[in-house]
Amino acid sequence: MSDIIIYHNPVCGTSRNVLELIRNSGVEPDVIHYLETPPSRATLVQLIADMGISPRELLRQNVPPFEALGLAEDKFSDDELIDAMLAHPLLINRPIVVTPLGTRLCRPSELVLDILPDQQKGAFAKEDGEPLVDAEGKRLK
């Protein structure tokens, strides 16, 4: 088991970029495909607490369940929002990365660099070509 966990959706470009940034640090993380294997309530609550955000801040808004459930309305308690994310894992924003240095929602993808214990091993550019790390493994932005 790795010291790094990524809650990953392989369809998401940001999630793919974060996974490759982790690998570029020389680590193969534990990859949890959270749409197939959603976190338990206790795990989701702990992730939210560890990130220091509210359940609402973790909600994806541009997916069908958000509109269908009326989640834009400010009438839902934190527990109700967590219930919605557990019932519809697509509502959980991603990627979430857990390392010994912290837990973070890595949007944009370069936020993962703040919590990776090891330096980047070489140059890295996002899928869209935006360079993030130079050949010496130094962060560019």
Q: Is 106 a catalytic residue?
A: no
pLDDT tens digits, 76-106: 999 999 999 999 999 999 999 999 999 999 9
The DSSP-derived string for 112-125 is: GGGT-SS---S-EE
The answer to whether the Cα torsion of 109, 112, 114, 119 is positive or negative is negative
Q: What is the pTM of this model?
A: 0.95
| Residue 43 near residue 34, CB atoms below 8 Å | no
Out of 4, 7, 9, 12, which one is annotated catalytic?
12
Please tell me the CATH code under which domain 5-133 is placed: 3.40.30.10
Q: Of 36, 28, 37, 91, give the one whose Cα is nearest residue 64.
A: 91
Q: Packing angle between helix 78-87 and helix 41-51, nearest 10 degrees?
A: 120
Q: Is 128 exposed, middle or buried (0-12, 13-18, 19+ CB in 10 A)?
A: exposed
Candidates 33, 5, 22; CA nearest to 109 is 22
Give per-residue pLDDT as tens, 34-79. 999 999 999 999 999 999 999 999 999 999 999 999 999 999 999 9
Q: What is the pLDDT of residue 16?
A: 98
